[in-house]
Amino acid sequence: MSDRKLQLIPLGGLGEFGMNSMALRYGDDIVVIDAGMMFPDSELLGVDIVTPDFGYLEQHREMVRALLLTHGHEDHIGGVPFLLSQIDVPVYGTAFTLALVERRLEEHDLLSTAKLNRVKPGEKITLGPFTVEFIHVTHSIVSAVALAITTPLGVIIHTGDFKVDPTPTDNELFDLHTLAEYGKRGVLLLMSDSTNVDRPGYTESERAVRPRFEDIFNRAERRLVISCFSSSIHRLQLILDLAAEYGRKVGFLGRSMLSVTEIAHGLGLLHIPDSILLRPQDLMQANPAKVVAVVSGTQGEPMSSLSRVAVDNHKHLSVEPGDTVVLSSRIIPGNEKAIYRMMNHLARRGADIVYGSTKPPVHVSGHASEEELKLMLNLVRPRYFVPVHGEYRQLAKHASLASHLHRQGLEQTFVLESGDTLEVDIHGARRGAKVPVGRVCIDSGTIDEVVEDIVIRDRRHLSEDGFVLPIIAISKQSGKSEALPEIVSRGFMTFDERSELLQEARRVVAKTLESSSEEERTDWGVMQEKIRADLKRFLIKQTSRRPLIMPVILEV
CA distance 264 to 242: 18
List the Cα angle 547/553/556 in 5-degree steps.
Answer: 150
- Residue from 71, 73, 314, 367 carrying the catalytic annotation: 367
Beta bridge partners of 294: 226, 252
Which residue from 31, 125, 37, 142 is spatially nearest to 81, judged by alpha carbons? 37
Which residue from 370, 363, 555 is spatially nearest to 476, judged by alpha carbons? 555
The rounded Cα 129 to chain-centroid distance in angstroms is 32
Kindly give the residue spans of alpha helices, DSSP state H, lying in 301-391: 305-310, 336-348, 370-380
- 367 is known as an active-site residue: yes
Beta bridge partners of 450: 442
| Per-residue exposure over 119-149, b if at least 16 CB sit within 10 Å of its own CB, e if not | bebeeeeebebbebbbbbbbbbbbbbbbbbb
- 406 is known as an active-site residue: no
CA distance 542 to 470: 17
Which residue from 32, 142, 51, 150 is spatially nearest to 91, judged by alpha carbons? 32
| Own/partner pairs, 119-125, CB within 8 angstroms, 24+ separation | 119/92, 119/93, 119/94, 120/94, 121/94, 121/145, 121/175, 122/175, 122/178, 125/92
Size of the chain in residues: 556
CA distance 30 to 235: 37
Beta bridge partners of 315: none
CB 79 within 8 A of CB 91: no
CA distance 328 to 354: 8
CA distance 211 to 240: 15
DSSP string, 187-236: EEEEEEE-TTTTS-S-PPPGGGGHHHHHHHHHH--S-EEEE--TT-HHHH
CB 222 within 8 A of CB 324: yes
CB 40 within 8 A of CB 47: yes
User: What number of H helices and E strands is found in the chain?
Assistant: 16, 27
- Residue from 34, 193, 323, 420 carrying the catalytic annotation: 193
In angstroms, what CA-CA distances link 59 with 5, 30, 54, 62? 19, 12, 9, 8
DSSP string, 47-74: --EEEE--HHHHHTGGGEEEEE-----H
**Annotated catalytic sites, by residue?**
193, 367
